[in-house]
Structure 1
Amino acid sequence: MRSVAVAATDGMLHFELALACEVFGPPPDALAIPWYEVAVCGTRPVRVGRFLLEPDGGLDRLARAATVVVPALADVDEDPPADLVEAVRAAHDAGARVVSLCTGAFVLAAAGLLDGLRATTHWAHTGQLAARYPRVEVDPDVLYVDNGSVLTSAGKAAAMDLCLHLVRRDHGPAVANVVARRLVVPPHRAGGQAQFVTTPVPARDDHPLADLLPWAMRRLDRPLTVEDLARRANMSSRHLARHFRSVTGTTPLQWLLAQRIRRAQELLENTDDSVDTIAAAAGMGTATTLRRHFHRAVGVPPDAYRRTFRA
């Protein structure tokens, strides 16, 4: 599992390419263990972001690697380069573990490697991936998906999460923690965690709910109903619902729930309070209620979410 080939072609994003080279490239100083051998592979000098990169070898080298990493493509409106798609397919047929970072999933999908499998990419492009490749089960709400020999991630930070997940798979959690500590990032975020929690915010400050929303935010620890909000805003519940839909794009209760989840996240990240205490502070009432809503919204339980920030 030591050889890692990072595919490179014109139009790739330099962040994800550099990230893969950084995680799998320099061996951890504190550990005397066999480490990865990384090669950047392409057919010619390639334009990566604003930089011109000279590859270490051709795309045929992908088929001789144990792990192939396909970084993000900047333009997903066009089909991926045919030579890259063919090289990735050949590498998978030869037994390589194939990994896409962010929109690199479009290359794996074009190669047919995601047919019948669950996969993800950056949330802004999940709809496009699903529409273009209907045989792929696209999940827009996760950080990464591990199908064993084929793995996909969402964008940017989630790509880092997947790379560290691979280190954890290959070398164990202690080694992954050392790598994460060197990179100053959390050592583990579960792949099923949501890419983000939607918290609708107004597009402007001069709207009919400008006074109501801050008032409600200061009272998230208290029971609040639609009638309470309508009374405070001096309007009927139906009138309030219309304004909420216009200003935030959602209903009063959905907006309140999103704010309570976000408050719980802040407390889990920054305090040692118990889940029961946080449930009360976020207006969820009980730990059971918090766990149910939190898991549904974020994708992981509160305790697992907290461990990410305690590790």
Structure 2
Amino acid sequence: MANQSSPGGFLLLGFSEHPGLERILFVVVLTSYLLTQVGNTLIILLSVQDPRLQSPMYFFPSNLFFLDLCFTTSSIPQMLVNLWGPKTISFLGCSVQLFIFLFLGTTECILLTVMAFNHYVAICQSLHYTTIIHPRLCWQLASRAWVISLLESVVGIPPTLQLPFCPHRQVDDFVCEVLALIRLSCGNTTYDEIQMAVASILILVLPLSLILVSYCAIARVVLRINSTKGWRKTFGTCSSHLAMVILLYSSVIAVYLQSQNSYARKRGKFFGLLYVVGTPALNSLIYTLRNKEVKRAFMRLLGKDRDTRGS
């Protein structure tokens, strides 16, 4: 696909007005990226290798951690290059990054919704959990999440890439994403803004609403539990997922639902950085620290198998 207004690609400005900050960010981003790769790969390997983790409760998080591996790899290496040296990206490279960014971001929102449904069944329909959440349904839900996101990206990306971009080609961000490219356009962006609003409702608002509905139902069940052990077990089941939801939606809302003055855009860059770099790294850390079975699987992998039921 050609775009006559930007034959040479784009300039990703990022934090170029603060060279000293870019050097610090380079170290922070590189460290977070390496932690994400190591942590997520380890969790995926544990899920595949350890029979005790081969259940629906660990199937969906494994999908999420694989997604985070792909998501960070699609954007962070280019970001590191831009933080340290040239800030250019080709039109093709920007198009690919934009597609993957939207595709995987949408998949993450859907997977978090599926995980909320999984927790709802586990807590509210515990006697029928294995009947309802069977392996075939897990594969169906996960595959549909990926396919729906793929189709949404195929339909949503071309109009953005066909915008008449301004000659300066300066993207006021550190990655190619829809909002930044819409701002770069010198033409009428009404259609694209409407499309983005509709997509935001379908990708962000609807999944978040379903997650909240699931947890409202869970809360009603939890409030009827009288034992401390039952409360602790329920919290252990849901806490890591809730933390992931809060991290994702707080950073996304801070980026997209804000005023368009220069100060708000600069602040939005930092929240965008949290979304792209921080959230994937924190997801694996939170999940590992909050899940005793994952920690036990890691100990078994190291050959230090011991019964830690009392811990």
TM normalised by structure 2 equals 0.25
Higher-Rg member (1/2) = 1
Identify the structure with the greater strand proportion: 1
TM normalised by structure 1 equals 0.25
Q: Which protein has greater RCO, CA pairs closer than 8 Å, 6+ apart?
A: 2
